[in-house]
Structure 1
Amino acid sequence: MLNRFLDAVADRLAKEWLVIGAQSLVFWAGGFAAVAWGTGRSPVDRLHALAPGAQALFASAALLAFVLSGAAVRRLTPVVLTFLEGYGWPGRLRRYGTARQEARRHRLRERWERLHAALGGAAQPVAPDTYDAFVRTDAALRRIPGAPERQLPTWVGNTLRAAELRPYQKYGLDAVKCWPHLWLVLPAEARDQITRARAALDSAVSALIWSTGFVVWTPWAGWAAPVAAVAATAVYHGALRRPCAVLADLLEASYDLHRTALYTALRWPLPTDPAHERESGRLLTAYLWRGSDAPVPVFTSSPDAPEPH
């Protein structure tokens, strides 16, 4: 859900448009190769056989197709990302995917408990492989919400959903409701890192769209379909997961490091201990979402207010 806000407010980096242009170029170059393979004649040879006026018209149409296809993929990217998260799936497919994610979480939990017991009860130094396995298992388990009803049917969706839920679990702050306010008080460097992480995720999603779309060249070359399948699989598992995990970690870290800036900007009293912070965070979330006419808590003095004499 936070991705929708980021897509609306984050500046589009020039590098992102260059990446989309490069992806579009690869797609169309591969398409011309597929047409040449299927017809036995290069599109360039066909172009040379045309009259000069027809050549100019064909070149203009090709340039227009190149530009419009890039713009279309850019517009589709947030829609496809939302779908990859698991939103909008049909009921049966969503239940099937969610059940698989819950089964995976159960397996990871059992493995985590075994490894945790081995680490805690070992009389001798633990083997590096055992420790590494515990770290990987713990990291994977954090990518899945613990409550089945909060889970989504995909790895991408659960990774981002878990990051959205953790500020509430730790601090009582609803990440989605508080995010626009926190965004405005984040340091420029933090906003820049989050924007770049989102841009990297967008680039991976657009690469997935181009890879899947390569199947349209199948009528001219039968190898286009398996190439599309292999490329899409490689992009999803190799290029998309890492920026998704980085973005999730940055979103969570924003609350870890800068939530006090939100309290200060709203003149809300800072929590005094972790238990108090959860309750204070829930009250602050309700205040931002609905407002309040309660006499407590009492606002703190503005940091810019003059000192009383």
Structure 2
Amino acid sequence: MTAFVTSLGGKLAERWLQALLLPGMVFVGAVAVAGRLGHGRWSDVDMLAAAVDQLGESATRRGNGAVALLAVAVVTGAVAAAALAQGLGQVVTYAWTATWGPVGRPFVHRRRRRWRRVVTRYEQALIEKARVLRGVRPADPPPEVPDTAALAAARDRISMVEPRLPTWMGDRMHAVDERIRTVYDLDLASAWPRLWLTVPDEVRNALVRAQAEFAAAGRLAGWGGLYLLLGLRWWPAAVVGAGVWAVGWWRGRMSMENLAQLVEATVDLHASALAVALGHPVDGCFTPGDGEVVTRILRKGT
């Protein structure tokens, strides 16, 4: 047990060092560079080297105590920056999946109009494709078969279901709820806490990892926000911040897609086990009738 605890502590310390302390120290260094150079002399390497030499000589003259205090100040600043980035990351992940209240309504209406236009083109293409394949409209040369797969992909890039949230990430998880309700007549919000308790450990671990990846993407975007703020003093930091934010946003989309697929797969594979655990035997596949019974049990008549 002692060896296990020691190993676990080492792994946690290593993860903390990689995920928080090292990016924080890089940011502290960027703050120091920005404070010294500013916009006017943003690329003055000689000035920066002279400042580093002066700092090193000053700390050496004052002895080991000054060096230790400088190291403590750097580490403290790195930890503070990491905590701030983590807090910003939580705000970012919430914004990626929230409704935004009245502010979000124009975005929802715009996304909904775009989605309906693409869906209309997709449905018309399906009808046209069926006519061509059945030979209802013979022609010489034969008419080209519409690319319904490309139109379906364009629809899904906006949302897999009719948009109700201002962001793709929020609607991606909302699509899981809608699809499960449509196919199984199951209320996912009521079923998920109980389903979580019935699935095997490997399923929970996969879901936890997917959620952690999404949180890490938000934290990366939080670092991007800090560098964008630093760009007010030193403009190269804004360029770095924009790039970091874009990478965080892209990773957020990828991890949300992975998380949504895992949640839907968990329901597909383990909804029957949940029904049995609630005292409702399932004969064969989980059906909308089973989902209705499970929902009624879980919601307790409400």
TM-score band, normalised by shorter chain: 0.7 to 0.9
Q: Which residue of 1 aligns with 2:112?
A: 102
Larger radius of gyration: 2
Q: Which residue of 1 aligns with 2:300?
A: 290
C-alpha change, 1:135 and 1:46, in structure 2 (3 Å) is farther
Please state how far the C-alpha of 1:181 moved relative to its aligned partner: 0.7
Looking at structure 2, the residues matched to 57 and 45 of structure 1 have their Cα atoms a distance apart, in angstroms, of: 17
Q: Which residue of 1 aligns with 2:215?
A: 202
| 5+ residue gaps, structure 2 | 1-10, 42-46, 134-141
Q: Which residue of 2 aligns with 1:120?
A: 130
Aligned counterparts, 1:49-198, within 5 A: 49-50=58-59, 51-52=62-63, 53-87=65-99, 89-91=100-102, 93-123=103-133, 130=147, 132-137=149-154, 139-140=156-157, 143-146=159-162, 151-198=164-211
Deviation readout 1:130-163 (Å, 9 max, x if unpaired): 254145235436x3433x6xx1111111111111
Q: Which residue of 2 aligns with 1:4?
A: none
Please state how far the C-alpha of 1:107 moved relative to its aligned partner: 2.5
Checking the alignment, whether the CA contact within 8 Å between 2:160 and 2:172 is kept in structure 1 is yes
Looking at structure 2, the residues matched to 32 and 126 of structure 1 have their Cα atoms a distance apart, in angstroms, of: 62
Please state how far the C-alpha of 1:55 moved relative to its aligned partner: 3.1
Please state how far the C-alpha of 1:206 moved relative to its aligned partner: 0.6
Looking at structure 1, the residues matched to 28 and 15 of structure 2 have their Cα atoms a distance apart, in angstroms, of: 18
Q: Which residue of 1 aligns with 2:24?
A: 24
Please, what is the CA RMSD of the aligned residues? 3.1
Looking at structure 1, the residues matched to 195 and 168 of structure 2 have their Cα atoms a distance apart, in angstroms, of: 26
Checking the alignment, whether the CA contact within 8 Å between 1:73 and 1:206 is kept in structure 2 is yes
Counterpart of 2:119 in 1: which secondary structure?
helix
**Letter matched to residue 288 of structure 1:** L
| 5+ residue gaps, structure 1 | 1-12, 293-309
Q: Which residue of 2 aligns with 1:295?
A: none
Please state how far the C-alpha of 1:125 moved relative to its aligned partner: 11
Q: Which residue of 2 aligns with 1:278?
A: 288
Deviation readout 1:70-90 (Å, 9 max, x if unpaired): 234334433431122134x24
Checking the alignment, whether the CA contact within 8 Å between 1:23 and 1:207 is kept in structure 2 is no
C-alpha change, 1:34 and 1:270, in structure 2 (3 Å) is same
Looking at structure 1, the residues matched to 94 and 104 of structure 2 have their Cα atoms a distance apart, in angstroms, of: 13
Please state how far the C-alpha of 1:68 moved relative to its aligned partner: 3.2
Looking at structure 2, the residues matched to 46 and 101 of structure 1 have their Cα atoms a distance apart, in angstroms, of: 56
Q: Which residue of 2 aligns with 1:217?
A: 230
C-alpha change, 1:164 and 1:216, in structure 2 (3 Å) is same
Looking at structure 2, the residues matched to 75 and 29 of structure 1 have their Cα atoms a distance apart, in angstroms, of: 20
2:48 aligned with 1:41, yes or no?
yes
Looking at structure 1, the residues matched to 32 and 129 of structure 2 have their Cα atoms a distance apart, in angstroms, of: 57
**Letter matched to residue 220 of structure 2:** A
Looking at structure 2, the residues matched to 171 and 248 of structure 1 have their Cα atoms a distance apart, in angstroms, of: 17
Aligned counterparts, 1:262-273, within 5 A: 262-270=274-282
Residue correspondences, number: 270
Between 173-182 and 65-74, the greater mean CA deviation after superposition: 65-74
Deviation readout 1:189-220 (Å, 9 max, x if unpaired): 22222111111111111110101111232354
C-alpha change, 1:21 and 1:168, in structure 2 (3 Å) is farther
With normalisation by structure 1, the TM-score equals 0.74
